[in-house]
Structure 1
């Protein structure tokens, strides 16, 4: 399978037994959701994942997902508030003493400053929708309910179509990131990214800690999608976070938006993750719906590098079965991908590294090679090869464990350590081919490597050749 699967860890999957089964089922990336706690909650789990990494003999990637500036209402009196269509309610920091209208506590001055009469206000991930009809006393606003529902405490609030200037990294996120880096996380996802500065802020914290891990920009705001090219220039990976994005934009626009984001990421050679409700019915059911299987397949056909499971593996009754279903769907979609797709040239203006990667894929296609082996200290050459979507598996040889775990996000790439007792990069790649049991004797393999002149330091990939095992 070329498509990578990300599994969120929660109560249903924290045990050694379930995690081991998830690894055997094909999961290489494990998501830790910091919205529901801090680093102290994950110390034991991270140790367990490193133990499984040693047992399995393959790199496992630990993804820290920061909570970000989730805009939430306060505590509802008596815990819940029933709302019927047409009801009028007040929302704000505090109600007037003699006002008996239902009240939603909300004390976010920066967000309230953006409220205007006629605005849409959405609660509970789109489950409850309101319209701002008037200004009330004490900095409150009067809302009219557009549908029936129940409001409970601490639910998320969104203003679709409005740009609220909140930094992606909160004080909690900064502490969580520093603590996560100290614990050894391999990647970090930023929630509610709006500008390239959000990515730069996170990278500054990572550099200050002496680490080099990928930053994932979660696209959950319309204004982030509007600035996609700028964000792509800064970020390492993109996540199409369809939950909040589906609240921000009209739902009929979401499928086309997802396809455009994936296409832009593919062209920029940046891995892209599709997330949210992919196999949600499998939280309680041993099999998915027809629509869900089609959704996963379409994400693969669109060009997603990774597909992500959230509640399905964190709290569902069938975490391993869900991964197995996702793997089968992805593999069938990949078969169709190879029937329909042709090798794509890099866009005009791309650098020599892009064209070397394309040349390697073209050579592998024309020579009917069995595999591509890319020796790359940083992993960047393998990521460029992955972005071309070759039919051959791509074995990425790098001695850097951090680079190996980074490469778990790239479609079709299988990271390997290589023999560090061999100094030459080309010789190291050839030695890997000779001992790799998945490459048969007599097979032709395309190798890419950075082969420096004697005495020189490596300067990136400068060699493409065919090697016969």
Structure 2
């Protein structure tokens, strides 16, 4: 199934550490690695998503029906499950809430208002009822739990990720940059080359957005909890703002949660869901993400196919813009690689050619991606880790290839790979980008753009 998902368009496999154990996740990692070993031009990256400081209700023998207007209690006493009271897994829950607070279950599937509290119990009145099942996620509107962003369990999972050389961490409920810097310091001590994606999903993260994004390697707009802790009407505005900020910093951004929620149970999406994917693409998201649709849904392959086809169709309708680059002018003027990527994109768009770039670090492919050329960026690299990481960037198709000391020989082999796989055709033109000392065969600094015709 994992291989089939990849063939339908999956680029990244996310390991949700809120579910399963290390043994089950190890099986997934092994299957992904087995897939990757088969191809030079296809890749599935691995993202480990930490559980984070989730506040959840306890286990119940059977769902409890909460009716509008009725009273219901949450207690920090463990193991309690009656018709009107259930446990929570967070000892400071009573201290974190006040009378009048709105408590949301599963992002708002059930809502309650806090009436009063004792030393160990929060008394509520049901606003919107429903069935309360075991271990449901709890949020307080406008508040974040006073828990560390990286818990003891998360550190164990992070170590598991280091041992398995995952490509990305998605860190849940990041509230400030200190969390990111602490994790990066740990990774440096382990000599682990893993990028940190911050999940923007808590009310506390918004005032610190700039410093959090600056410290990170990219962001995820986790709209579920974000819409539970903040007014739901703010979520689309925040989504657009986070995407713009990431573009300004040349960092990848993922839009996640509820994108094809109806396809968990149905074979076709709602038209609103299709529009949601299209909007995320139009706003400039590098990636769009599925959760329950593929984790436990009835139609995982169809969900990926819908997401992939909608994204491709939306991308094809977008007209390239060769105006001011989406990075600060100071960066554009001072960074030769950024300037070259901008002009290479302008040339590729004008001539309607794909872009070929040779990269050992991935940086030029990233620069090109953020200028959004209208054609594919074929990023050839001789570093497997770079190939793995580039899969998350919009428009980039990473391909592994050993570089030759002769630049022409490497270019010829790259074209042979592309023509053999029918990715480019004989007679068409390609834009070749060489910048700085990135081509491994060049020791001196050189910057130039070429347009070449594909020969048979």
TM-score by length of 1: 0.87
Contact 1:418 1:429 in 2 (8 A): no
Given the alignment, which residue of 230, 240, 258 partners 2:239?
258
Within the alignment, does 1:19 sit opposite 2:7 as a pair? Answer: no
Contact 1:371 1:446 in 2 (8 A): yes
Within the alignment, does 1:397 sit opposite 2:380 as a pair? Answer: yes
Given the alignment, which residue of 446, 456, 461 partners 2:431?
446
Written as runs of structure 1 = structure 2, the 5 A alignment for 1:55-66 is: 55-57=38-40, 58-66=42-50
Matches of 2:367 and 2:132 in 1, distance apart?
47
Matches of 2:199 and 2:244 in 1, distance apart?
16
| Correspondence for 1:128 | 110
Within the alignment, does 1:69 sit opposite 2:50 as a pair? Answer: no
Within the alignment, does 1:213 sit opposite 2:197 as a pair? Answer: no
Q: What is the count of residue pairs matched by the alignment?
A: 444
Question: Once structures 1 and 2 are overlaid, which stretch shifts more, 458-467 or 147-156?
Answer: 458-467
SS at match of 1:330: helix
SS at match of 2:123: strand
Given the alignment, which residue of 335, 352, 357 partners 1:374?
357
Within the alignment, does 1:175 sit opposite 2:160 as a pair? Answer: no
Matches of 1:235 and 1:439 in 2, distance apart?
35
Change (3 A) 1:92 1:453: closer
Matches of 1:284 and 1:82 in 2, distance apart?
22
Written as runs of structure 1 = structure 2, the 5 A alignment for 1:421-440 is: 422-423=404-405, 428-429=410-411, 431-437=413-419, 438-440=423-425
Matches of 2:127 and 2:155 in 1, distance apart?
37
RMSD of aligned residue pairs (Cα, Å): 2.7
| Correspondence for 1:270 | 251
Written as runs of structure 1 = structure 2, the 5 A alignment for 1:311-460 is: 311-338=292-319, 341-345=321-325, 346-350=327-331, 351-352=334-335, 353-366=337-350, 368-420=351-403, 422-423=404-405, 428-429=410-411, 431-437=413-419, 438-452=423-437
TM-score by length of 2: 0.89
Matches of 2:385 and 2:279 in 1, distance apart?
31
Change (3 A) 1:426 1:121: farther
Given the alignment, which residue of 141, 144, 147 partners 1:160?
141
Report the CA distance between 1:194 and its aligned residue.
1.2
| Correspondence for 1:12 | none
Given the alignment, which residue of 84, 88, 99 partners 1:117?
99
Report the CA distance between 1:273 and its aligned residue.
1.0
Matches of 2:443 and 2:255 in 1, distance apart?
35
Change (3 A) 1:135 1:294: same
Q: Per-residue CA shift, 1:355-413, capped at 9, x if unaligned? A: 221121122223x0521122221112111110111112111122111111110000000
Contact 1:239 1:275 in 2 (8 A): yes
Relative contact order (C-alpha < 8 Å, sep 6+): which is higher? Answer: 1
Contact 1:373 1:448 in 2 (8 A): yes
Contact 1:344 1:388 in 2 (8 A): no
Matches of 2:324 and 2:113 in 1, distance apart?
47
Report the CA distance between 1:457 and its aligned residue.
8.2
Structure 1 portions without partners, runs of 5+ = 1-17
Structure 2 portions without partners, runs of 5+ = none
